[in-house]
Amino acid sequence: MKKALITGITGQDGAYLAKLLLGKDYKVYGLIRRIVNRDFSNLEYLGIDKDIELVDGDLTDEASLINVIKTVKPDEVYNLAAQSFVGTSWDQPLVTSEINALGTLKLLNAIKTHWPTAKFYQAATSEMFGNSATDGIQNENTPFHPRSPYAISKLFAHWMTVNYKESFGMFAVSGILFNHESPIRGKEFVTRKITDGVAKIKLGLADEIKLGNLDAKRDWGFAGDYVEAMWLMLQQEEADNYVICTGKTHSIRELLDVAFQHVGIKDWDKYVSIDPRFKRPAELHILTGKNDKAKEKLNWQPKVDFEELVKMMVDADLKRLKK
């Protein structure tokens, strides 16, 4: 039985990845910070909260990471823990960097020193590209130009992963994932903020959604599809980095259209207001990925399309609120 260690296991990606690995007969360990209020709702939503062994540790504490690596001796390590909300990174750049950048370095060092046979996956992000692609399309060869403290911290972690592979021969890969969502996405993210807001408006529980830039365009996919790509990267003979995306871009306005029309509301303008507080200090206008490499080498491609994803999320929020 293979053993996998997942940091950030209570988050969206951690929960979906854990479910995937359990289905492949892995023994799954989840790294959990010793805090008072632990939220296992995502694991409970997917019905796997009783199937995971939790281990105490903290990405900001290298000693705890060393102890976990020496105890678990994992075959695969998936580093998904992060301060992942872009907006917060401007208000808390130090915390964001300590977790996302230095936390990754500490974990890499713990693996290199105490269990170097473990395969390592780093959760990178399309935010690292910024607005660098003149044609708006990003692949593995597109230059990076991060536009937020979050993206900068993730770029540090990405290059450290590359460096540890090249310097120490570790099997270390970086998955550059474009936006991926699901019914268990946090409500602070615009996709879930919209689907939750639409469900509340439909049920008469709210009458407004406050948003920032409605013209921002993103390449959105389903988290359940994307975690499969993470696993596939660690099953290859050679470690390599991959862009994971759908290759199709949609605007916030399109997302609103699909979500509101799904509940029978055609004229959504009267329910949406612009709040300057939700606009980024440095805007990232468009992200569109190109996943040719993942299709060819990993034999991976997304299964859930944009409209299906949005409707899935709205339906899940309606179901929650009706309870």
Handedness of CA 140, 144, 146, 150 (dihedral sign): positive
d(CA 236, CA 243) in angstroms, rounded, equals 15
Catalytic-labelled residue, pool 26, 150, 226, 242: 150
Q: Is 10 a catalytic residue?
A: no
Contact 308, 248 (CB under 8 A): no
Tell me the C-alpha distance between 112 and 74, whole Å. 12
Write down the catalytic residue from 7, 127, 142, 242.
127
Cα–Cα distance for residue pair 213/284, rounded to 1 Å: 10
Cα separation, 24 vs 33, whole angstroms: 26
In DSSP notation, 287-302 reads -EE--HHIIIII----
Instruction: Give the residue among 292, 291, 245, 287 at the shortest CA–CA distance from 127.
Output: 287
How far, in Å, CA of 196 to CA of 202, rounded? Answer: 10
Choose the catalytic residue: 125, 161, 191, 288. 125
- 150 is annotated as an active-site residue: yes
CA atoms within 13 A on the CB side of 269: 1
SS3 35: coil
List, in sequence order, every beta strand (DSSP E) within 71-205. 76-79, 119-125, 137-138, 172-177, 180-181
Q: Where are the beta strands (DSSP E) in the chain?
A: 3-7, 27-32, 53-56, 76-79, 119-125, 137-138, 172-177, 180-181, 209-211, 217-218, 221-222, 242-244, 250-251, 272-274, 288-289
Catalytic site positions: 125, 127, 150
